[in-house]
Every structure is written in structure tokens, then in C-alpha cells.
Amino acid sequence: MRPYLLIAALLLPVLTGCSVEGVLTHSPQSRGNKVDPEVLGQLVPGTSSRADATALLGSPTIRGMFDDNTWLYIAETTKPRIAGTLEVEDQNVVVLTFDPNGILRKIEKRSQKDASDVSMVTRFTPSPGNNASVLQQLLGNVGRFSPGGTAKTPTTGGTGGANSF
């Protein structure tokens, strides 16, 4: 019997008990605060308060960076891809806007279609120091330390012998 037929015969019972979906890929994962549309319907702009929203929906995923009166409930379904990156299959965002008195003024629903692509900036921030080559970095400390284990420091001329760097 050929070796590859033997291996196939041994693996066949194992693979028939498992679905190909479960063996070769991972199942989607839900993340964040998924808002039930029926529960969201219980909130009424103009009458519901922050306490009502918290009681029905729980704490928001995030509050507005510059406006504490904007609450966002973000939910997404992701699936792992090759190299450990996550693919977003579905994304839903519910935005609640409150007035300064804590009364709900507006409810907005957003999806992945409303998302904006963010381009990366190619410039870089310079750092202080010198641009030493690899060879200069490797040989930079040669002759800098004395046999006793202390660093040699240059001295200035004169009688005081003060160290300077």
C-alpha cells in the first residue's frame, strides 16, 4: 500500500466528523454593544433621559471625545483572516445625542457603509541625535572604557583638570 493512501485512510474518519467550515476557518465573533431595535424603540427623543438610555442599553461603548452629550454604541462582527488580521463583516453604530440637561434629542443609526477610509501619513517625526551607521554603532565604544571598568572622559586644559563632555 502506498504511504499517501495510508495517511488518507487514517485521516478520513477524523475529517468526516468535522465540517470543513470549522476545520479550515474560524467562526465570526461579535464584539461591542449590539443594540436591539425593539429596545431602541423604547427611547423617545424629547422625553427619554441618560438614565433611561443606560437602563435600556447599558453603558455606551464610547462617549464623544469633545462632547460628553454624544454616546456611541458600536457593534461589529469580525472574522479572523490569514496572518491574524481581523476582517469586519458587519458594523452597526447607534449614536445618541443628549442636550445639556441630559434629555435625548436625536437617535442616529450608522453602518459600515458610512465609514470613511483613513489614509496613513507618510512623513515622520525626526528625533534628536546623530545618524550613526551600523558599523559606527558597533565600534562606537571601542577604547572608551579603561581596564578597571570605568569610563574614560576627556579633560580640559589647565590646572583644574575639570571633566567636560
**Residue 96, strand partner residues:** 71, 107
Of the chain, the percentage scoring pLDDT greater than 70 comes to 73
For the chain, how are helix, strand and coil distributed in percent, rounded to 5?
25, 25, 45
What tens digit of pLDDT does each residue of 26-36 get?
778 777 888 88
pTM: 0.55
Type of residue numbered 68? D
What tens digit of pLDDT does each residue of 114-132 get?
878 888 888 877 777 777 7
Spatial CA neighbour of 91 closest among 150, 19, 50, 35: 35
Dig out the grid coordinates for 61 from the structure: 461603548
